[in-house]
Amino acid sequence: AQKVTQAQTEISVVEKEDVTLDCVYETRDTTYYLFWYKQPPSGELVFLIRRNSFDEQNEISGRYSWNFQKSTSSFNFTITASQVVDSAVYFCALNNGANNLFFGTGTRLTVIP
């Protein structure tokens, strides 16, 4: 069975602070992919990153960075120097190749100006 846990329900930070969103997953598959999606108030889910289970290299894209650790089954997401436009709900998700995404419950991030 697949399970994705995002223990942080809501986080508030002041603009320009760094913030890390946690994601812990469970799966018995050896091959899987992990994803992060952003859902702003408009409702559309925006794809941010995909990481496969064999690639534990961290990734940085501008102010965003991701830390994947198989040893702890975690795939955490850090936003550096947060901005008001980062305010959204962020979902971590897992795909085991079966045309299906298993979503976590999401973390609502509020960046206060």
Binding site for other proteins (CB under 8 A): 31-33, 35, 37, 42-47, 50, 52, 91, 95, 97-101, 103-106, 108
Least distance to other proteins, CB of residue 16, Å: 27
Q: Which is nearer to other proteins, 79 or 93 (CB)?
A: 93
Q: Which is nearer to other proteins, 28 or 113 (CB)?
A: 28
Least distance to other proteins, CB of residue 68, Å: 15
Query: What is the secondary structure of the chain as a DSSP string?
Result: --EEE----EEEEETT--EEE--EEE-S-SS-EEEEEEE-TT---EEEEEEETT----EEETTEEEEEEGGGTEEEEEESS--GGG-EEEEEEEE-SSS--EE---EEEEEE-
Least distance to other proteins, CB of residue 13, Å: 20
Least distance to other proteins, CB of residue 41, Å: 11
Q: Which is nearer to other proteins, 94 or 111 (CB)?
A: 94
